[in-house]
């Protein structure tokens, strides 16, 4: 029975290449947020109020999430009909080129309002690319390994995507260490984007060594691929799975966007901690997140995803509250508290295990991609804006937001089994 076989060397090679490629592409997508403060100063009018500049900068960052459904739905459609690997490789090129372009864009001082508009356009292209990348990667790795190792495979891939965030944090830390703030604004901020373009081309090369998934190859051979538009079947026959997948994605997006991506900039503004210190702590938190993704993925294989998500969501809520409430009085605890909170965010590594098992193979890519990307467009896209507005009234706004979404995750976890039967 193939489901009972152990992981082979080829499985580990596939997981490693997929995770490494995902890391390089995800770096391209998120490096923007680590230079949000510099980008805000360079791409918007200098007389604009600081809070509005921050809001608009995060708004452009969020635009990448808003267009994810379109890219994800189109790429998933062809992924279910033509093959996982082709779309898995195409997404890299669609990410690398706009990342290079951002590194070359003129600023507001040079071309006025055209600068933020061009920046917005590049984020739209990046969003379309990552819309196919993340769900495609989860489907790809889960269909290469025995079903009883789905949690480990998805956790490993999610850790790879997380490593892309860590790589972005390390590059941002290096830039802020080597260059003083005025030189970062003068042009050093461009280097991470130019480097990201090179990373993207490298990731595309790596994926030449991957093979089509055995699940898709068998469906193609048996001629049992989707007989109609895959998304139509998903919306007609798997609405319960879609609802659960969207709500769990909301929790995933809150953990990643608020705790990992937004917090460095928020720590600088709320607690006046310098950029280098926050980025070092963020690197530690992101590394802990990567470890947590694998840890929770393995636990999901052994215990099932429901108890893992119930306990993990509660732990994330507690850690986030302690992190934000302790720093004002004890900023010296930044590193250990951020590391612990990052590990708690690792519960998101168990989410894709649920998502890939919720849909049958014929429409798996489309079902997962639609649910994940629409949810991320709504919740991930609105999160930076909502959190920024909450900050105007309460510096604990980010913590309250994450806690609220964790409660949604706990409630949703109770319906995982029924969603899989939907």
Our CA dihedral for 264, 268, 274, 279, rounded to 10 degrees, sits at 0
Number of H helices, E strands in the chain: 22, 0
pLDDT digits (tens, 9 = 90+) for 63-119: 877 787 887 777 766 666 666 666 767 777 888 889 999 999 999 889 989 999 999
Structurally, the chain folds into a number of domains equal to: 1
pLDDT digits (tens, 9 = 90+) for 165-208: 888 878 988 898 899 989 999 989 999 999 988 888 887 777 77
3-class SS at 144? coil
| Residue 130 near residue 71, CB atoms below 8 Å | yes
Distance of CA 359 to the CA centre of its chain: 21
Per-residue confidence in pLDDT tens, the chain, 422 aa: 346 677 777 778 778 877 887 788 788 887 888 888 888 888 988 888 887 888 888 888 878 777 878 877 777 666 666 666 667 677 778 888 899 999 999 998 899 899 999 999 999 888 888 877 788 788 888 877 888 888 999 999 999 888 888 888 789 888 988 999 899 999 899 999 999 888 888 877 777 777 766 666 666 666 545 555 777 878 888 888 899 999 999 999 899 989 988 888 888 888 888 877 888 898 899 899 999 999 999 999 999 999 999 999 999 999 999 999 998 888 889 999 999 999 999 999 999 999 988 888 778 888 888 898 888 878 877 888 888 888 888 888 899 999 999 999 999 999 886 434 33
Q: Which residues constitute the domain of residue 156?
A: 8-421
Domain-located, residue 2: no
Domain-located, residue 330: yes
| Residue 376 near residue 234, CB atoms below 8 Å | no
**H-only helix segments in 67-113:** 68-82, 84-104, 108-111
Domain-located, residue 1: no
Domain-located, residue 32: yes
CATH number for the domain spanning 365: value is 1.20.1250.20
């Amino acid at each position: 029975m193939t489901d009972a076989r152990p992981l082979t060397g080829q499985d580990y090679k596939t997981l490693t290449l997929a995770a490494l490629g995902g890391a390089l592409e995800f770096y391209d997508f998120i490096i923007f947020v680590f230079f949000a403060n510099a980008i805000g100063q360079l791409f918007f009018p200098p007389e604009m109020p600081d809070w509005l500049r921050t809001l608009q900068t995060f708004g452009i960052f969020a635009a990448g999430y808003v267009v994810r459904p379109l890219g994800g739905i189109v790429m998933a459609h062809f992924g279910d009909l033509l093959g996982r690997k082709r779309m898995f490789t195409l997404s890299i090129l669609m990410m690398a080129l706009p990342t290079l372009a951002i590194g070359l864009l003129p600023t507001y001082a040079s071309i006025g309002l055209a600068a933020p508009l061009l920046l917005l356009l590049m984020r739209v292209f990046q969003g379309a690319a990552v819309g196919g990348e993340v769900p495609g990667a989860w489907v790809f790795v889960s269909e290469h390994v025995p079903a009883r190792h789905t949690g480990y495979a998805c956790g490993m891939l999610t850790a790879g995507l997380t490593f892309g965030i860590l790589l972005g944090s390390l590059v941002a830390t290096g830039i802020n260490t080597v260059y003083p703030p005025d030189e970062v604004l003068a042009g050093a901020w461009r280097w991470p984007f130019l480097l990201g373009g090179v990373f993207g081309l490298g990731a595309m090369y790596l994926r030449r060594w991957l093979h089509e998934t055995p699940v898709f190859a068998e469906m193609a051979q048996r001629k049992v691929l989707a007989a109609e538009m895959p998304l139509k079947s998903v919306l007609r026959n798997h609405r319960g799975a879609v609802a659960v997948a969207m709500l769990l994605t909301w929790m995933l997006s809150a953990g990643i966007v608020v705790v990992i991506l937004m917090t460095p900039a928020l720590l600088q503004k709320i607690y006046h901690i310098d950029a280098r210190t926050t980025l070092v702590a963020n690197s530690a938190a992101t590394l802990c997140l990567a470890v947590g993704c694998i840890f929770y993925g393995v636990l999901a294989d052994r215990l099932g995803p429901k108890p893992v998500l119930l306990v993990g969501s509660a732990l994330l809520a507690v850690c986030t509250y302690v992190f934000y409430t302790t720093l004002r009085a004890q900023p010296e605890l930044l590193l250990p508290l951020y590391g612990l909170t990052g590990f708690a965010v690792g519960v998101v590594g168990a989410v894709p295990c649920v998502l890939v098992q919720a849909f049958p193979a014929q429409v798996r890519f489309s079902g997962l991609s639609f649910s994940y990307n629409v949810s991320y467009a709504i919740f991930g896209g609105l999160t930076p804006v909502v959190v920024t507005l909450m900050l105007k009234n309460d510096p604990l706004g980010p913590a309250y937001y994450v806690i609220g979404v964790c409660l949604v995750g706990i409630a949703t976890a109770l319906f995982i089994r029924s969603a899989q039967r939907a």
